[in-house]
Amino acid sequence: MFDPYKIREDFPILKRKINNHPLIYFDNAATSQKPKQVIEAVKEFYEKHNANVHRAVHTLSMEATELYEEAHEEIAKFIGAESMEEIVFVRGTTEAINLVAYSWGLHNLKRGDEVLTSLMEHHSNIVPWEILSKIKGFKVKYADVNPDGTLSQESLEENLTSKVKLVCITHVSNVTGVVNDVKTIAKLAHENGALVFVDGAQSVPHMPVDVHELNCDFLAFSGHKMLGPTGIGILYGRRELLEKMEPFHGGGEMIREVSFNPEKQRCTISWNDLPWKFEAGTPNICGAVGLMAAVKYLRALGMENVKAHECALTDHAMKRLEECPKITVYGPKDVRSKCGIIPFNVEGFNSHDVALLLDSYGIMIRSGFHCAQPLHQKFKIPSSARASFYIYNTREEIDRFIEALKEIEQAL
């Protein structure tokens, strides 16, 4: 049985009070809280196993290496990858996108080519491609979104020409919670000869995700949004693609051999095996251990259960928000087409003012444009408040949230 009240007992921070109110944490799209199982896994690593990986034969190094490689294997199973060789640890989704841009894009995109993304993307899935386009001369194109924030399938298909070499699409919008039909998008892209990169930062923590079912070529997500530590994330890539790609960072660990030629006064370098070719330097070992603990925690809950719980919370919140006449909610109203994210504004209030007022009730939400200015421009608003839910949130918390919003409405 999925029991959010029992789950809450695993999260020490939820025992806090903010401004003399019990903490209600509705900023999960930005980062999630951490259960004691993750905190203890990181603590135990530093207390018992701390050493560098792949660099020594002593006991601590062997233990650390075993844990680090096990983390790759657990992540591979979690998303349905064929092997740990397809799992590259990075700092987060942003670094994963940059890795693909510079390890794949720099060597495969040229003038006349196109990269297709959308107006609902996080800036992390826009900025790297725009920067690289200025270097390589290719064009970045944007599929439009409908008035309710859903992706315009017509615009996507119109822009998906033979010139497009890569489609970069978010699985779930970090603003509206819209879930894109990545499987269909991937089918269309592959039929046109394009590869598919999926930003899974808002999907992998909240629903079952299988890379083979999605038929994507790359998938990126961040540990800190799925109960794990900050500073650790994942790039999944199809093995045949990763094997052909050049490294992103140079340094230790990512090489097989560096040989100096005294006549040419140059070094000849060969790359290490996957995934180490892309993991230069000392990695975030404890972050990987913590993320492995987070993945095991989520797997025990069942990702279908996680999705169902969030859907029920979102449905309850959307219905109760109808009681607030001065509130405008953005995005689709049908909770079956979205994850547990609700962007809104309160008439007469700046989104930051709403966030500060809610903080006085102990309720934590996000305010601003959520690193997605093009979508806010599409909605013709400068910013929005955003409530986002996760496994430890409850209907009672939503009810307190609604009552606080009603009081804020009455303040003008």
Exposed e or buried b for every residue in 154-174, given b needs 16+ CB within 10 A? ebbeebbeebbbbbbbbbbbb
Lookup result for tokens 């087409």: 337
**Beta-carbon neighbour count of residue 20 at 10 Å?**
8
Distance of CA 408 to the CA centre of its chain: 32
User: Residue 286: which residues within 8 A CB-CB, separation 6 or more?
Assistant: 42, 45, 46, 50, 229
CA 279 → CA 27, 170, 241, 285, 326, distances in Å? 30, 24, 16, 11, 50
Q: How far apart are CA 378 and CA 142, in angstroms?
A: 12
Residue 339 known to be catalytic: no
**Beta-carbon neighbour count of residue 412 at 10 Å?**
9
Q: How far apart are CA 83 and CA 240, in angstroms?
A: 12
Please tell me what DSSP assigns to residue 246. Answer: P
- From the list 161, 51, 73, the residue with the least C-alpha distance to 116 is 161
Count CA atoms within 13 Å of residue 358 on its CB side.
31
**Looking at the annotation, which residues are catalytic?**
371
